[in-house]
Structure 1
Amino acid sequence: MNSLLSPIEIQRPASLEFGAGLVGAVGRWAAARGIARSLVIATGPTAARAALLGLPGEVVVFGDVKPEPDIPNLEEALALAERVRPELVVGFGGGSAMDLAKLVAVLPGTGQSIHDVVGPEKVLGRKVALVQVPTTSGTGSEAGTRALVTDPATRNKLAVQSRHMMADLAVVDPDLTVTVPPAVTAATGVDALAHCAEAFTSRRAHPLIDLYAIEGIRLVGRYLTRAVADGEDREARAGLSLASLYGGFCLGPVNTTAGHAVAYPLGTRHHIAHGLACAVIFPHTLAYNAPAVPEKTALVLEALGAPASADPRAVAEITLDFCRELGIEMRLSRLGVPEDDLPAMATEAHAIRRLLDNNPRDISESEILALYRAAY
């Protein structure tokens, strides 16, 4: 854990607007800068709503973003960007759309491929404007400098981090999330929770980020059940949008830990949506880490509105119940994961050192396998 004397760098979008009904701010921002040609990167359902952005001039929409985007999906978007030559790229959707938008904004015309920029600060620069507009409350990608895509050849997620991928403008309009179905609301909400809880209990945790992390957890505890029960509860939607944003603030300087590392193979191998994968794994990794960070684990449960505890069994039971009551299917066996694939998944997860090295407690490959079996 870092102390108040530990140095930390915080990066944020140059401008961030938060509030119901603000989506039109994107068009006003673009018009004020004389932008005449834009490329919107969106998922299929969201692509049909691109007119809400109010963009001026020529607007081209790439609406084929996959739930777990891979290199071929990225290459399709990059090919369109090469033809369109936009002055502005807009990520409009969940984390997948916003991650692709970051890469589409920085790669065309540079001679760099996705493999050239994997890792921290390898992107050469950016010549176009970048705006991010989330339509779900989960990843907080609008506030960060990372993008992830899956390499089909290795089944690994490639992580790119660059200050050049930070948005010029992020517009967080909670009203855009009212149409998100209950199951997606639940899973993405637990993803936001996992971002905050993992950052809060990380070896790299910092008091400056703890502030966002614990408040993000409180917001999920207060509003997620309400939003699942009534998607048009605008206050609950706003609370979750803020929780997601705070989770995004946690990712840059601290990042996630074992929870996300263990969740990744569920998406890359079995195409389970990222939010759902993180939700299924979250109780098990929080409980595993409890002995290493007992005080902070107890605070996580309190922030969720549950009794404070650092006992691993109680932690697992309380958080499993929280997720089940949201209607989330918490058994890997019911999500189409073959039991004989668990050892290979454990091997892949154990190799994700960029996240596991942040974990507050060392975890072996056999212990990861035990977590999968507990979730099975």
Structure 2
Amino acid sequence: MTDLTAPIAIVRPEIAFGSGTARTVGQRARARAARRILVVADAFNAARVDLLALPGEVRVFGEVRPEPDIPNLERALALAEDFSPDLVVGFGGGSAMDLAKLVAVLPGSGQTIHDVIGPERVAGRRAGLIQVPTTAGTGSEGGTRALVTDPATQTKLAVQSRHMLADAAVIDPDLTLTVPPAVTAATGVDALAHCVEAFTSRKAHPLIDLYALEGARLVGRFLPRAVRDGSDVEARAGLALASLYGGFCLGPVNTTAGHAVAYPLGSRHHVAHGLACAVIFPHTLAFNAPAVPEKTRQVMAALGLPETAEEGAVAEAATRWCADLGLAMRLSALGVPEGDLPAMATEAHAIRRLLDNNPREISRDRILALYRAAA
């Protein structure tokens, strides 16, 4: 791990960051001579599309669901097929931005979602793409991946393509001022998990470690502040930057066991992704500590916790840190039945694209033990 000679490729959208930048989205659309704009958003953000000052004919798909599934995607694609936009704007959290990526590439391509699962199978893109995050967690605005749930198998389908990289990511922390404390906490830990898992991955690289560790430090510094006072603009900006850094980590390095173990909570029990990551985070951080002790100590320091790599101490301190944010840290409190844990462990263990990155080998039985520790 952390091999300076390992090849790595980095791609980035054009980035506009800072308070008030949402107003520039319309200017960017005009610069592209966009005349038919499709905004992909959840219901809340669909009601405030005017903040973007978009020109031309604008249609809004305002039905993005948390943890979107294939039927949700198909409804968005049907609108895009009918409207034929020349610009797609993702406006919302990671779910909206992930669907926006797919809406920008699938209509008119002859490809279905099942044709493009995996890396670099997308044929191309016919519409421009601008991403405008309204939460600080996924970092989807800066990446090339999209996730949707297949209800037939209750698993997440992952698509990765450079064609899904946004032309521009407009990150206005002021848009996150309305996010309630519980969602702020959960999405903040999602950003933290992206950074920490990339930092401790088998594929960790110094070029990404820079973003990963600084992202963790930003979360450690600003997440408790934003939870206490949602109007703290500096804290909101710090978290928006941490989220972006976490998104930078996802392309060339990606996540590890934490996300693999969290995914069944969302696909099977509709637990919000950030909350699923939060309840699992202390347990996978502790499990991996013996394999990456120095990096674990750096993560603990970033959160203002004792600089230890002892498994029990890491799990206890990290769980307390998350709980102090007001997060429910027991699976039972999230409505996950204990009888479903074995099936979830089997599903999580099959997510090799993530588990093969983990710094410590983890068996299906050990995943089950992690679930039971969090139950």
TM bucket (normalised to shorter chain) is over 0.9
* Corresponding position of 1:255: 254
**What letter matches 1:229 in structure 2?**
R
Distance 1:11 1:305 in 2: 32
Do residues 9 (structure 1) and 12 (structure 2) align? no
Distance 1:143 1:290 in 2: 29
Following TM superposition, the consecutive aligned residue runs of length 4 or more in structure 1 with deviations greater than 2 angstroms are none
Cα drift, residue 33 of structure 1: 1.8
Matched residues, number: 375
Alignment of 1:207-226 (within 5 A): 207-226=206-225
* Corresponding position of 2:68: 69
Do residues 170 (structure 1) and 166 (structure 2) align? no
CA deviation map 1:154-203 (0-9, x unaligned)? 11100000000000010000000000000000000000000000000000
Aligned residue for 1:24, secondary structure, equals helix
**What letter matches 2:211 in structure 1?**
Y
* Corresponding position of 1:45: 44
Aligned residue for 2:319, secondary structure, equals helix
Distance 2:365 2:31 in 1: 56
Aligned residue for 1:23, secondary structure, equals helix
CA deviation map 1:337-365 (0-9, x unaligned)? 11100000000000000000000000000
**What letter matches 1:6 in structure 2?**
A
Alignment identity in percent? 75
Aligned residue for 2:7, secondary structure, equals coil
* Corresponding position of 2:292: 293
The TM-score normalised by the length of structure 2 is 1.00
* Corresponding position of 1:264: 263
Distance 2:4 2:165 in 1: 26
Cα drift, residue 2 of structure 1: 3.6
Cα drift, residue 127 of structure 1: 1.2
Cα drift, residue 32 of structure 1: 1.6
CA RMSD of aligned residues (A): 0.5
* Corresponding position of 2:137: 138
Distance 1:179 1:99 in 2: 21
* Corresponding position of 1:235: 234
**What letter matches 1:70 in structure 2?**
D
**Structure 2 unpaired stretches of 5+:** none
* Corresponding position of 2:126: 127
**Structure 1 unpaired stretches of 5+:** none
* Corresponding position of 1:279: 278
Aligned residue for 2:21, secondary structure, equals coil
* Corresponding position of 1:85: 84
Cα drift, residue 316 of structure 1: 0.5
* Corresponding position of 2:339: 340
**What letter matches 1:40 in structure 2?**
V
Aligned residue for 1:17, secondary structure, equals strand
Distance 1:90 1:293 in 2: 40
CA deviation map 1:136-155 (0-9, x unaligned)? 00000000000000000111
CA deviation map 1:89-133 (0-9, x unaligned)? 000000000000000000000110000000000000001100000
* Corresponding position of 1:117: 116
Distance 1:221 1:265 in 2: 27
* Corresponding position of 1:34: 33
Distance 2:224 2:312 in 1: 23
**What letter matches 2:228 in structure 1?**
A
The TM-score normalised by the length of structure 1 is 0.99
* Corresponding position of 2:153: 154
